[in-house]
């Protein structure tokens, strides 16, 4: 168990708020779930998340990159070839976050929930890595 005073001392509230704002963006969780599986190109993300436009995915990828959650690797020679992957420190945190969301979904399934929670539960099922 984590000592709460140690956690409070190490937690910078500005960083926590920034990360929370990034995680709330529309396609962020979808993207992170895909990146858990390994590096992907933008075109692969577009196939995996067809409801998201190229513009929205690109904006989300830039935000994640600026937040140091993902790395952009330019592997181009003559043809543009860019891959995105979770940064080393973000991988374990992302896996833990997805696991917590899945556990929350499992617990909430046993309770009567308002419609907004039911929609979140449905989205969590769609996001769970295979």
pLDDT digits (tens, 9 = 90+) for 4-57: 444 455 556 666 777 778 888 888 888 888 888 889 999 999 999 999 999 999
CATH code at position 32: 1.10.10.10
Give the pLDDT score at 54.
Answer: 92
In a domain, 54, yes or no: yes
Q: What is the C-alpha separation between 79 and 101, in angstroms, rounded?
A: 38
Give the pLDDT score at 4.
Answer: 47
Q: What is the mean pLDDT of residues 80-89?
A: 84
In a domain, 5, yes or no: no
Phi/psi for 41 (5° steps) reads -95, 160
In a domain, 3, yes or no: no
DSSP 111: S
For the chain, the average pLDDT equals 77
pTM: 0.65
Segment among 30-34, 58-62, 76-80, 112-116 with least mean pLDDT? 112-116
More confident residue, 127 or 71: 71
CB under 8 Å, gap of 24 or more: what pairs does 100-109 form? 101/29, 101/127, 102/128
In a domain, 109, yes or no: yes
In a domain, 88, yes or no: yes
Beta bridge partner(s), residue 86:
70
Expressed as residue numbers, the domain containing 72 is: 12-127
Give the pLDDT score at 55.
Answer: 94
How many whole angstroms from its chain centre is CA 125? 14
**Number of folded domains that form the chain:** 1
In a domain, 22, yes or no: yes
Cα-Cα-Cα-Cα dihedral sign, residues 110, 37, 89, 15: negative
In a domain, 82, yes or no: yes
């Amino acid at each position: 168990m984590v000592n709460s005073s140690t956690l409070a001392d190490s937690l910078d509230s500005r960083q926590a708020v920034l990360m929370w704002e990034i995680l709330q963006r529309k396609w962020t969780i979808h993207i992170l779930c895909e990146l858990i599986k390994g590096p992907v190109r933008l075109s692969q993300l577009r196939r995996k998340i067809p409801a998201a436009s190229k513009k929205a995915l690109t904006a989300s990828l830039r935000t994640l990159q600026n937040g140091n959650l993902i790395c952009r690797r330019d592997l181009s020679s003559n043809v543009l070839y860019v891959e995105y992957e979770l940064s080393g420190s973000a991988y374990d945190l992302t896996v833990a976050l997805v696991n917590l969301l899945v556990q929350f979904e499992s617990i909430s399934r046993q309770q009567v929930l308002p419609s907004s929670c039911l929609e979140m539960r449905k989205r969590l099922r769609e996001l769970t890595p295979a």
